[in-house]
Amino acid sequence: MSTAATISSAPRPARRATSSSRPGHRGLTPGDTVEPCAVSDDLDALQGALLRWYGRERRDLPWRRTTDPYAILVSEVMLQQTQVARVVPRYLEWIARWPTAAVLAAASRADVLAAWVGLGYNRRALALHAAAEVVARDGWPADLRTLPGVGPYTAAAVGSFAFGAPVAAVDTNARRVADRLGHGPPAELLPPRRAADWNQAVMELGATVCTARRPRCAACPVAVWCASAGRPAPPPRRAVERFEDSNRWVRGRVVAALAAGEGLPPDIASERVERAVAGLLRDGLVRWVDGALALG
Ligand code: SF4
């Protein structure tokens, strides 16, 4: 695969250090109060501090121990909308059962859907299966975004982690961290030749320190370089629908029941089940077989 052709958002040159405005790290510890102060725009120092912190503090996640593009793609698809703690055991089971794209491509859609139960958004499973079919048949494409279910973020993540592409993987965490740091968009922060580590480091910071609702600026390794240290803007609050009230929940219950060889869930209002089944049929996740619903 040509990494250069993978993603169009190549990083722009980093801004250079202005050491005169650099205040130096103050050795912040949890519980310290971070006062807004003159913010250093020394991007080299910011990058070094975050990469060193990531080297020390990174969570040991199984997909961080590999550069196999298939394994990384599986992890990235599972991590869309599903929490890390829930993904880890499912990822390990999946890789043990289907260790390569070719093995997954040979599996039935019904088996793939059944193995996805509980991860949500079942269409992701079918897209992953379809992507495996493409890779098994044609190899990895030069533009990963041509694979089913692979958008700009997933393409950048697989491109940088597996193929060493110098691109920023911009998910919600990376965007929020960049917004708060105030040094430009994520692509401008990317250090030369360290895209994979940098992408992981930014995501790790966003997931564990610079979180959406409770950022821990006093424990942040880049507070000195952050324009928002001590006063990050909270994300806007949105009305949140209870998961059990959503059509997605009903769809998940229907797929889980079919995977278990059961009938449609009897404890959910029939009109909700009918709506969910209509959507599952439309999306090709279930089909009629001899008058009964079946997966895939
Ligand atoms: S945790 Fe605070 S100091 Fe660190 S990047 Fe986020 S807003 Fe800035």
pLDDT value of residue 235: 65
Average pLDDT over residues 216-237: 87
Which pLDDT band, with edges at 50, 70 and 90, does 147 fall under? Answer: very high
Q: How many CA atoms lie within 13 A of 211 on its CB side?
A: 9
Domain 37-232 -> CATH class: mainly alpha
Token pair, residue 226, equals 């952050």
The span from the CA of 161 to the CA of 173, in Å, is 17
Higher-confidence residue of 290 and 191: namely: 191
119 Cα–ligand 1 center, Å: 30
- For the Cβ of 226 lying below 6 angstroms from any atom of ligand 1, the answer is yes
The answer, yes or no, to whether residue 103 has pLDDT greater than 70, is: yes
Of 130, 151, 141, 135, which is closest to residue 283 (Cα–Cα)? 130
- For the Cβ of 215 lying below 6 angstroms from any atom of ligand 1, the answer is yes
Which pLDDT band, with edges at 50, 70 and 90, does 236 fall under? Answer: low
Given a contact cutoff of 8 angstroms between Cβ atoms, the answer to whether 153 and 169 are in contact is yes
User: What single DSSP character describes residue 286?
Assistant: E
Of 144, 103, 149, which is closest to residue 1 (Cα–Cα)? 144
Dihedral of the alpha carbons of 200, 202, 204, 208, in degrees to the nearest 10: 180
For 72-98, letters b (16+ CB in 10 Å) and e give: bbbbbbbbbebeeeebbebbeebbeeb
Domain ranges of the chain: 37-232, 243-295
Mean pLDDT of the chain: 86
Active site (annotated) includes residue 93: no
Quote the pTM value.
0.77
The answer, yes or no, to whether residue 224 has pLDDT greater than 70, is: yes
* Cα 145 to chain centroid, rounded: 15
Residue whose CB lies within 8 A of the most ligand 1 atoms, among 222, 224, 225, 231, for a mutation test: 222
Q: Which of 14-18, 75-79, 108-112, 287-291 has the lowest mean pLDDT?
A: 14-18
The span from the CA of 96 to the CA of 99, in Å, is 6
